C-alpha cells in the first residue's frame, strides 16, 4: 500500500545587492543590515516522518529568471531543517523543489513551491513535502492443474505356487479416469528376502508371465503410472524346487509292480515311465498328452531317458533330466512354443537381432540358458536340437508337438 507522509517547509529567502551600491549608506545599530547580511536568506523546515524512518539529507533546487541553484541540507542529527540560501536576484516566478530519501530507501519525499523575491527583503516560502513508502507486499498468480492419479484395480497370479522353471500367469487391471497427462503404463518388479527369483515375460505389460528360477517367496509388484503420479499393488508367489522328476541315474520303468527309483524312495506308479514330460503335458490337458503319446512317443520319453549332469552353463552339475523337465515346465504353460520354439528364448528380438548378446528377452530365456548349458546366443541357436542336453531334448519334443498339430499343448 502506498504511504504518504506530509512535511511542511518554511523557506526564508533574501535578496543580495552589490556591495558598491551600499557604500554611501550608514548603518544604524538595530535598524539596518550589512551588505553581507542582505545577501543571505534564511530557510526553515520541520520534517516529521514515521517512527523508525530516518532521513539524513534533503536536497534543493531553485530555478527561475535564468537562475539554477542547487544544494543539500544535512539533517542527520536533527528533526528540524534550517538553511541559509543567498545570492538570489530580485524577481518573480522562482520555484524551489525539495527531495529526500530515507536511509533504507523505503521512503522518498518530494515537494515544490513558487515564490518571488523583493530587493532587500526576506521572502518566506512554505513547501509541502509528500513522502511515499515503497510497497512491501507482492502477489502470486496461481495457475493450478488437476490430475487424477491412476489406480491398480486388481492383480492376480496363477498359480501362486510354482516349481522352479514353471510359469506363473500374471494379470492386472489399472484405470485412470482422466487419461492424463499421459497414457497409462505398467511396470512389474520382483523382490525376495529368502532367495526366490524369476524372470518376467514382458515386464511392461499389464498381463504377462513370470518364470521361477530359484526357490523362495517372491513379491511381484505392479506399478501403474500416468507419468505424473502412480499406484501399485503386489502379490506373493512361492517358487519351490523342481517338480517330481526322475533321479539323475537311469529312468525306472514299471515292471508290473511298484518299484523304487535307484536314488529316491518315491514309489513309481505302475504302467508308465517316471517322466516329468508326461506330468507337464497332462497338466496342460488330457488331449495334449494323448496327442503327444500318439505323434511324439520317442520325444516324450526324452527327459526320462537322458542321463548325467550339466557340464556347463548357469546350472552346471544339475541333472540333465531335471533341466529337461524345467524347460518343459516353462515352455508348455507359457505357450511360447506354439509357432517356433525360438520365441521362448528370443522373445521380441527376432532373427539376427536375437543373436546379439543381451538382446534375447523370451519368457523362458533364463531356463533355456541353464538347460542348454550356455548363455551364448549363437550356441543356444544350435543347441535346440542337441539331444545330449536337457534343454535340447525338451525342445525336440516341443518341435514335434508343433509339427504334428498338437494345438492343445500350446
Place 38 in a pLDDT band, splitting at 50, 70 and 90. very low
Residue 397 to residue 399: CA distance in whole angstroms: 5
Residue 206 to residue 154: CA distance in whole angstroms: 10
Average pLDDT, the chain: 79
Has residue 99 got a pLDDT over 50? yes
Q: For residues 372-382, give the mean pLDDT.
A: 88
Q: For residues 213-228, give the mean pLDDT.
A: 95
How confident is the model at residue 245, as a pLDDT? 41
pTM confidence score? 0.39
Tens digit of each residue's pLDDT (9 = 90 or more) over 48-97: 466 667 888 999 999 999 999 999 988 887 776 667 787 899 999 999 99
User: 323 with 190: CB under 8 angstroms?
Assistant: no
Residue 235 to residue 249: CA distance in whole angstroms: 38
| CATH C-level class of 151-240 | mainly beta
How confident is the model at residue 378, as a pLDDT? 85
The CATH architecture to which 3-16+33-133 belongs is Sandwich (2.60)
**Count of other CB atoms within 10 angstroms of residue 26:** 6
Has residue 250 got a pLDDT over 80? no
Residue 306 to residue 389: CA distance in whole angstroms: 8
Residue 400: which of 326, 311, 291 has the closest Cα?
291
Has residue 285 got a pLDDT over 80? yes
3-16+33-133 and 151-240 share one fold = yes
Tens digit of each residue's pLDDT (9 = 90 or more) over 179-193: 999 999 999 999 999
Ranges of each domain in the chain: 3-16+33-133, 151-240, 263-409
Q: For residues 321-340, give the mean pLDDT.
A: 82
Q: For residues 359-379, give the mean pLDDT.
A: 87
Residue 173 to residue 106: CA distance in whole angstroms: 62
Tens digit of each residue's pLDDT (9 = 90 or more) over 105-131: 888 889 999 999 988 888 888 888 888
Amino acid at each position: 500500500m502506498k504511504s504518504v507522509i506530509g512535511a511542511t517547509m518554511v523557506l526564508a529567502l533574501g535578496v543580495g545587492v552589490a556591495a558598491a551600491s551600499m557604500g554611501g549608506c550608514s548603518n544604524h545599530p538595530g535598524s539596518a543590515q550589512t551588505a553581507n547580511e542582505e545577501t543571505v536568506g534564511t530557510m526553515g523546515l520541520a520534517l516529521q516522518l514515521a517512527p523508525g524512518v530516518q532521513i539524513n539529507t534533503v536536497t534543493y533546487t531553485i530555478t527561475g529568471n535564468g537562475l539554477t541553484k542547487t544544494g543539500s541540507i544535512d539533517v542527520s542529527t536533527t528533526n528540524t531543517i534550517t538553511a541559509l540560501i543567498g545570492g538570489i536576484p530580485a524577481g518573480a516566478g522562482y520555484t524551489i523543489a525539495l527531495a529526500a530519501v530515507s536511509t533504507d530507501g523505503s521512503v522518498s519525499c518530494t515537494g515544490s513551491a513558487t515564490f518571488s523575491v523583493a530587493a532587500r527583503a526576506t521572502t518566506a516560502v512554505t513547501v509541502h513535502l509528500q513522502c511515499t513508502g515503497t510497497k512491501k507486499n507482492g502477489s502470486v498468480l496461481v495457475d493450478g492443474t488437476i490430475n487424477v492419479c491412476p489406480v491398480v484395480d486388481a492383480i492376480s497370479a496363477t498359480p501362486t505356487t510354482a516349481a522352479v522353471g514353471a510359469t506363473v500367469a500374471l494379470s492386472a487391471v489399472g484405470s485412470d479416469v482422466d487419461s492424463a497427462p499421459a497414457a497409462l503404463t505398467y511396470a512389474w518388479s520382483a523382490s525376495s528376502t529368502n532367495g526366490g527369483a524369476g524372470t518376467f515375460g514382458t515386464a511392461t505389460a499389464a498381463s504377462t508371465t513370470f518364470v521361477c528360477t530359484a526357490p523362495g517367496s517372491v513379491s511381484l509388484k505392479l506399478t501403474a503410472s500416468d507419468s505424473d503420479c502412480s499406484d501399485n499393488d503386489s502379490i506373493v508367489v512361492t517358487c519351490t524346487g523342481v517338480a517330481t522328476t526322475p533321479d539323475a541315474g537311469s529312468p525306472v520303468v514299471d515292471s508290473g509292480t511298484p518299484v523304487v527309483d535307484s536314488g529316491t524312495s518315491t514309489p513309481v506308479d505302475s504302467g508308465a515311465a517316471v517322466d516329468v514330460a508326461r506330468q507337464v503335458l497332462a497338466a496342460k490337458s488330457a488331449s495334449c498328452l494323448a496327442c503327444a503319446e500318439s505323434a511324439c512317443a520317442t520325444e516324450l520319453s526324452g527327459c526320462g531317458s537322458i542321463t548325467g549332469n550339466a557340464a556347463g552353463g548357469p546350472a552346471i552339475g544339475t541333472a540333465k533330466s531335471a533341466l529337461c523337465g524345467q524347460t518343459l515346465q516353462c515352455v508348455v504353460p507359457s505357450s511360447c512354443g506354439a509357432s517356433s520354439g525360438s520365441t521362448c528364448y528370443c522373445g521380441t528380438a527376432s532373427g539376427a537381432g536375437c543373436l546379439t548378446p543381451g538382446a534375447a528377452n523370451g519368457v523362458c530365456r533364463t531356463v533355456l540358458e541353464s538347460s542348454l548349458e550356455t548363455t551364448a546366443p549363437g550356441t543356444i541357436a544350435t543347441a535346440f536340437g542337441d539331444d545330449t542336453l536337457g534343454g535340447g531334448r525338451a525342445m525336440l519334443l516341443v518341435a514335434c508337438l508343433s509339427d504334428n498339430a498338437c494345438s492343445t499343448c500350446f
